[in-house]
């Protein structure tokens, strides 16, 4: 089920354009390359990669949770009329 929801996410999710933030990340990345030695750069990039993976996983998880909530709400709404007790007016209409 989660794989199907992941495919739906991939199909319908459009990332927000974040031009300013992306430019800032690129600028900071260039500054790090200039200031850090190779081992430190590698460590920082590993941290960034791990954070990006967490962000992506949270985004997918949020989509799946929202989809499941919508699915459960739709189910409840479809069964609301069946499960609730009819009012006295509705009983009178049914008896007529």
Give the chain's largest Cα–Cα span. 86
pTM here? 0.63
Cβ atoms of residues 63 and 9 within 8 Å: yes
pLDDT of residue 64: 92
Q: What's the CA gap between 10 and 46, in Å, rounded?
A: 25
Q: Show the tokens assigned to 27.
A: 């600028």
- Tell me: the pLDDT tens digits for 26-65? 899 889 888 999 999 899 889 999 999 999 999 999 999 9
Q: What is the mean pLDDT of the chain?
A: 86
- Tell me: the pLDDT tens digits for 3-29? 888 898 889 888 888 999 999 988 998
């Amino acid at each position: 089920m989660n794989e199907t929801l992941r495919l739906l996410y991939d199909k319908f999710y459009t990332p927000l354009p974040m031009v300013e933030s992306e430019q800032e990340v690129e600028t900071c990345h260039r500054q790090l390359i200039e200031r850090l030695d190779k081992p430190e750069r590698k460590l920082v990039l590993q941290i960034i990669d791990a954070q990006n993976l967490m962000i992506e996983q949270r985004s997918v998880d949020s989509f799946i949770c929202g989809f499941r909530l919508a699915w459960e709400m739709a189910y409840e709404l479809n069964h609301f009329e069946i499960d609730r007790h009819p009012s006295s007016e509705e009983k009178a209409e049914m008896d007529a």
